[in-house]
Homo-oligomer: A and B are copies of this chain.
Amino acid sequence: MTPFKLTDELLDQIQLLIEAGKDSDLQESMQEYHYADIAEITNELDTEQATYLIKLLDSEKTSDVLTELDEDVREAILNQLTPKEIAEEIAELDSDDAADILGELPADQVQGVISNIEDKEHVKDIVELLRYDEDSAGGLMAKELVKVNENWTVLTCVKEMREQAKNVTRVHSIYVVDDEEILKGRLSLKDLLTTSTRTDIKDVYIPKVDYVRVNEKPEEVAKIMSKYDLEAIPVVDEIGRLVGRITIDDIVDVIREEADKDYQMAAGISQDVEADDSIWELTRARLPWLILGLIGGLGAAAIMGGFEEMITKHAVLFYFSPLIAAMAGNVGVQSSAIVVQGLANDDLKGSISDRLWKEMLLALFNGLILAVILLLFTWFWKGSFETALAISISLVVVIIVAGLVGTFTPLFLDRRGIDPAIATGPFITTSNDIFGILIYFTIARWILGI
């Protein structure tokens, strides 16, 4: 497949068609594109053009386009549509996407939109989904699924399924429930292909079925689905009733967002921004961390001011302060990143003290190697073995402390229920800068005796 590529020429051409009002040409040229591609195009149009395009195209297609748009673009377009027009879009969507879009509308518009949706079953599903926390399995799931009663025969089941399948984009598993809607097990489509129609469902279903509770965190759902290679997972309520289903495509989005967030956090960017956001949005995401870094630097400067008396005899100590701060920061970030990933992937075994002990040995080992390089460089450069030794010994201690802080902080945050990912990046760099400089000058003064 030649992947779709949004070129400037294509965009110009579409804008020309919109401005000239060439509706049928426009419809025809959009025909060939996937809704995700049309969303990519629409994101680049101004609100008026985008709204024109959405109104022009069939709502069967535009409803999916809406779900793929950037949030601000979608908001602007929905603002231009009447409740009835929005209702037409939402009627075409699966309940989870419908609820997501409805959840973004101002509260006073929701009622108007809902009253314009004809399918009352669909409305009921959407309203139910609106109740769940966005950051939970309930907020991710869709109501569309195929379920059969354990008391049916395969024949009844196939008949019912044909009916239900019309509303379900992808059938993964057929869920089996009892008369109380309690989830009992599952049937695979493949099994149905190979079982006689007279069999009772009771006798063929697989009683072992993975499921999650409505209030489970999305990251947990993602972990379970990817660990067990599931493409869909049923969601049950507090008493075990089947209430929805989460599919892997939603989980792929969760994993990507989670990874993007952690990456940005490690890089000192505090909210989800993209390269094409405004300077103001980028500043809001970046400046707080820079101010934190600035405070760290001011702290380091103040500490160095306290060692002023050393500057005449040991100026060289001051030359190495950026090196010490950088090494403390780098080691801290490395250690915390490994812990953060271990926590995210659930593969941290053993106690905190074991982990700190191992990190100490590792830091000692790495620190000694680095100290030898530093010792030789400084000795040859400045000719004073004593100074070189003092700087090198300090470096080893700084690296050990930085490694321990980097290991301990995310573990501590995690125990307190705080996302450990905030520990990497500027937070650990800044505190390690201050610690590092303080330890460095203290030890150096102690060794050099001034």
Q: Which residue from chain B places its CB closest to the CB of A373 in the assembled complex?
A: B294
The reply to whether A189 and B162 form a contact with Cβ atoms under 8 Å apart is no
Contact in complex: A287, B366 (CB < 8 Å) = yes
CB distance from A366 to the nearest CB of B (A): 5
Binds B, one of A21-29, A104-112, A197-205, A272-280: A272-280
**Contact between chains at A190 and B211 (CB < 8 Å):** no
B347 and A276 contact, CB distance less than 8 A: yes
A322 touches B255 (CB 8 A): no
Q: Is A165 an interface residue (CB 8 A)?
A: yes
- Is the C-beta of A384 less than 8 angstroms from some C-beta in chain B? no
Residues of chain B within 8 A of A377, CB atoms compared: 298
Does A259 count as interface, using CB distance less than 8 angstroms?
Answer: yes
Contact B325 A322 (CB under 8 A): yes
Q: Within 8 Å of chain B (Cβ to Cβ): is A241? A: no
In the complex, are the beta carbons of A333 and B297 less than 8 A apart?
no
Query: What chain B residues lie within 8 Å of A319 (beta carbons)?
Result: 300-302, 304-305, 318
A273 to B263, CA, bound (A): 17
Contact of A333 among B248, B267, B361 (CB under 8 A): B267
Nearest Cβ on chain B to A431's Cβ, whole angstroms: 12
Given A3-B224, A267-B336, A294-B323, output 19 extra A-B contacts at Cβ < 8 Å: A34-B228, A44-B349, A226-B253, A248-B248, A260-B345, A267-B424, A275-B338, A279-B361, A282-B362, A283-B362, A289-B330, A289-B334, A296-B326, A297-B320, A297-B322, A308-B315, A325-B326, A326-B326, A329-B429
Q: List 29 A-B contacts (CB under 8 A).
A: A3-B220, A34-B228, A161-B193, A170-B190, A226-B253, A252-B252, A256-B259, A259-B263, A264-B341, A266-B267, A267-B333, A269-B338, A274-B338, A274-B341, A275-B339, A276-B348, A286-B362, A290-B327, A290-B331, A293-B327, A298-B377, A302-B319, A304-B319, A305-B316, A305-B381, A311-B318, A326-B429, A329-B329, A333-B425
